[in-house]
Homo-oligomer: A and B are copies of this chain.
Amino acid sequence: MQTQTFQYDTLYNFTVDIFNRMGSSTEESESAAKVLLAADLRGVDSHGVARLSGYIRLWEADRVNAVPQIKVVHETPSTAVVDGDRGLGLVVAPFAMKIAIEKARNVGTGWVSVQNSNHYGIAAVHAMMALEQDMIGISMTNASPLVAPTFSTAKMLGTNPICVAAPAGEQPPFVMDLATTTAANGKLEILQRKNQEAPEGWVQDADGNPTRDANILKKGGALLPLGGDRDHGSHKGYALGAMVDIFSALLSGANYAPWVPPFPAYVPMPAKQPGKGIGHFFGAMRVDAFRPAAEFKRDMDDWINGFRTAATLPGYDKVLVPGDPEREMEQERRENGIPLLPAVVEDLHQLAGKMGVDWIA
């Protein structure tokens, strides 16, 4: 598949224009575009502009509110619950993360659970807002049900990612961002496009049998929790995904478990809606609420150096630290542009026509 490469600024301005035409304020359009494009920059191609038309379809289906009144509905000195008023998660999430950071500034840590939101892009971009404040950032979200818990054939959880970002000194920050499944759904979509099989342990069929069919989700199959099967710890991946659901939706009053609204606008809403929209959870911990930031960062540098210089398996240059591949990808793509598959380019082209925005290629 031939890709076409676009400069970051070109895609950013295009995305801002699209959200503007949807009715978002300029400030919110810019915030949303920045969050969405962070996925393309960091190599999470499934969560970037490839999804832009999907967000627009949610707005057309009246599942996304382009002019939300996002507000705090409950708070204590270290906590808040935010109602996203059905806004783009791309806009609601930074709003909520800013509150977490502000509370951390005041009382050491801040924790914000969010209801009535939509999909928020990649988890990392929100958690990383804490880094420049010398804080540890945490970001989680629930998502469309695609994952069967251990011993089940039912899709009960989303890929429910967890991101933790911690600052270092001379070293780049530690940034982990992981779906609580063996593989993120985006990885499966790549195999579908390439007509390749999935490794064992990624998916099961509608009856719960192991399969390597990358298209099995369309046939009643499910993604498997991190671990893959019981012998390899799938009950742990299931528990981690459950934790994300509890923090994101049970604490905020959002929809949970199989009742989380689906991302594709053509999939009907679940008949039962125990809460509002989808849920997120954010945390910020001021490093110097525990110990002087300079000491923490010195130790983080030492920690990171220890892993980078650890003995490697034959054929490997070095041990990676969480965040390394995405940071290297971002440097490369900021310089040389973001490659998009023909199907994505065509989708954006059509979107430009529909929304009355100048085409960029």
- Measuring CB to CB, which residues of chain A are less than 8 angstroms from any residue of chain B? 74, 76-79, 81, 107-109, 111, 113, 136, 149-154, 156, 162, 164, 166, 174, 176, 178-183, 199, 201, 207-208, 226-228, 231-233, 235-240, 242-243, 245-246, 250-253, 256-258, 274-275, 285-287, 289-291, 295-296, 299-300, 302-303, 306-307, 310-314, 316, 318-320, 322
Q: Are A156 and B310 in contact (CB under 8 A)?
A: yes
Q: With A and B bound together, what is the CA distance between A109 and B281 in angstroms? A: 14
Q: With A and B bound together, what is the CA distance between A227 and B231 in angstroms? A: 11
Q: Are B199 and A231 in contact (CB under 8 A)?
A: yes
A79-B109, A107-B107, A153-B313 known; 7 new pairs, CB 8 Å cut-off, are A81-B290, A164-B243, A178-B240, A207-B314, A256-B303, A258-B306, A274-B302
Q: With A and B bound together, what is the CA distance between A236 and B54 in angstroms? A: 28
Contact A108 B111, CB 8 Å, known A306-B258, A311-B153 = yes
Partner of A250, one of B238, B250, B286, B303: B303
**Can you report 13 A-B residue pairs in the complex whose CB atoms are below 8 A from each other?**
A79-B285, A151-B319, A164-B243, A166-B246, A166-B250, A176-B236, A178-B235, A183-B233, A208-B313, A228-B232, A235-B320, A253-B299, A275-B299
Q: Are B154 and A310 in contact (CB under 8 A)?
A: yes
Q: With A and B bound together, what is the CA distance between A153 and B316 in angstroms? A: 11
Least CB separation from A275: chain B residue: B299
Partner of A290, one of B79, B154, B243: B79
Least CB separation from A184: chain B residue: B233
* A contact patch SS: mixed
What's the least CB distance linking A160 to chain B, in Å? Answer: 12
What's the least CB distance linking A133 to chain B, in Å? Answer: 15
Least CB separation from A112: chain B residue: B290
Contacts of A291 in B (CB 8 A): 74, 81, 251-253
* Residue in A252, A286, A311 whose Cβ sees the most chain B Cβ within 10 Å: A311
Q: Are B182 and A257 in contact (CB under 8 A)?
A: no
What's the least CB distance linking A324 to chain B, in Å? Answer: 10
